[in-house]
Amino acid sequence: LYFSAQEGILIFYHIKDLQYEIKICADISQPISSLIFSPDYTSLLLVTDQGTVYSYRPAHSGEAVKLLDTSSSCFLAADFLTPGNNYCVSVTISGEVQVWSLEDGTFLSKLNLGIEVHVN
């Protein structure tokens, strides 16, 4: 079970029978608004209210890697671009859709929809 604390800490609870173990996985120092697993559960996107997106790979137990920081724009959401889990896509209120590589956070492409976007 993965969850985030208010302070921006990603925590893992390993639960087996009536026993559990707690592990702090990453500290990004920003409140995490959502956690999104890749389709094959090998990567986890950590999305903040401030518009920063981090990638965390549970099997590698490393630090979360900052993929993008859209704090200057009105960031709405991010998710994996499927099939696969090599890319993520983000969208802003202004309608800019951006594609990023999850390997190294490289910006790959963007498309301006020309309309304001809302999340329902």
Question: 6-36 pLDDT, tens per residue?
Answer: 788 888 888 888 888 888 888 888 888 888 8
pLDDT tens track for 52-79: 888 888 887 778 888 777 655 667 888 8
CB 100 within 8 A of CB 87: yes
Domain boundaries, the chain: 2-112
How much of the chain exceeds pLDDT 90, in percent? 6
- Of the options 1.10.357.10, 2.130.10.10, 3.10.20.740, 3.30.210.10, the CATH number for the domain spanning 2-112: 2.130.10.10
What gap in Å lies between CA 117 and CA 35, rounded to an integer?
21
Q: How confident is the model at residue 113 (pLDDT cuts 50, 70, 90)?
A: very high
Distance CA 2, CA 41 (A): 12
Q: Taking 90 as the threshold, does the pLDDT of residue 111 lie above it? A: yes
pLDDT score at 32: 86
- pLDDT score at 120: 65
pTM of the predicted model, to two decimals? 0.73
Cα separation of 20 and 118, whole Å?
39
